[in-house]
Amino acid sequence: MQIMTAENFGTAKESIGYKGPPGGGKTTYAASWPGPVEWCQFDVNQKTIRELVLGGLDARVYTFDTHTEFEDFARKARRREFEASTIVVDTVDFASAMLIRDIQGTQIKMKIQDWGKVLTRLQTTYANLMSCTAPLDGRPSYNVVLCYHLIDVTDDSGGLMKVAPKIQGGFKDELEAYLDTVLYCSSAMKSVIEKQPGGGGKAVPSKVFECHSVPPTPHHTCKGGGLPPILDGSYPNLMKLWNRIEGEVG
């Protein structure tokens, strides 16, 4: 048991979720958080994280053969055994799919009690990670960054009911309640003006990452418009934004 006081509450770190379609910049935004980073890589596409590490990202990247290994990692994080500033899970949906495969094993299909095991183990794992944002017995806290894809949840007639993390089972409805902040990430092709040697500029097509705060509706999808204003979702710019807001409120 730990008793929280004004002294140790004041040194808590941040937890944030970056969600959206593949290629939307989730990994890039996650890599903007302070290092050293303990990076849990589950996404089978490792191109972006490979380029980031080769480019100098201060991260130790883990891959796991079983979800049990990841659960062991989360317990170590809860005990603050890592010398790190940030923990990243990329992505939560690939990690949860690994757990389902582990539990299903050679069974043709999952049993009802198996889904109960999935939910309990995911709840425990992410509760352990979220606890890391608070200090423990004088040991430092960590920022926790979760990346995940989305899925449209429809009714029997195909009507959109909600958009949720792409996680099988009940945990998809709980995950975002664990987080301080959730941002929706996407990308777009836009013209960027490049200066020319002889003067002037030339419009060059370029992939641009965009980040949005989540609107107050469960019907939030990567299809169509109606998104909130674009913001820079990188750590330095979020800190500027949050600090400015806190200063105005104060």
Domain assignment present for residue 61? The answer is yes
Domain assignment present for residue 120? The answer is yes
Model confidence at 110, in pLDDT bands (50, 70, 90)? very high
pTM beyond cutoff 0.75: yes
Tokens representing 45 are 């596409």
Domain assignment present for residue 242? The answer is no
Give the mean model confidence (pLDDT) for residues 196-208.
Answer: 72
CATH number of the domain at 22, please: 3.40.50
Domain assignment present for residue 199? The answer is no
Tokens representing 56 are 């100098």
Distance CA 129, CA 145 (A): 10
Q: How many other C-beta atoms are found inside a 10 Å radius of the C-beta of residue 51?
A: 13
- Split into its structural domains, the chain has a count of 1
Domain assignment present for residue 249? The answer is no
> Residue 46 is part of which domain span?
6-184+212-232
Domain assignment present for residue 117? The answer is yes
Give the mean model confidence (pLDDT) for residues 114-118.
Answer: 96
Domain assignment present for residue 110? The answer is yes
Check residue 223 and give its pLDDT.
Answer: 47
Check residue 249 and give its pLDDT.
Answer: 41
Domain assignment present for residue 202? The answer is no
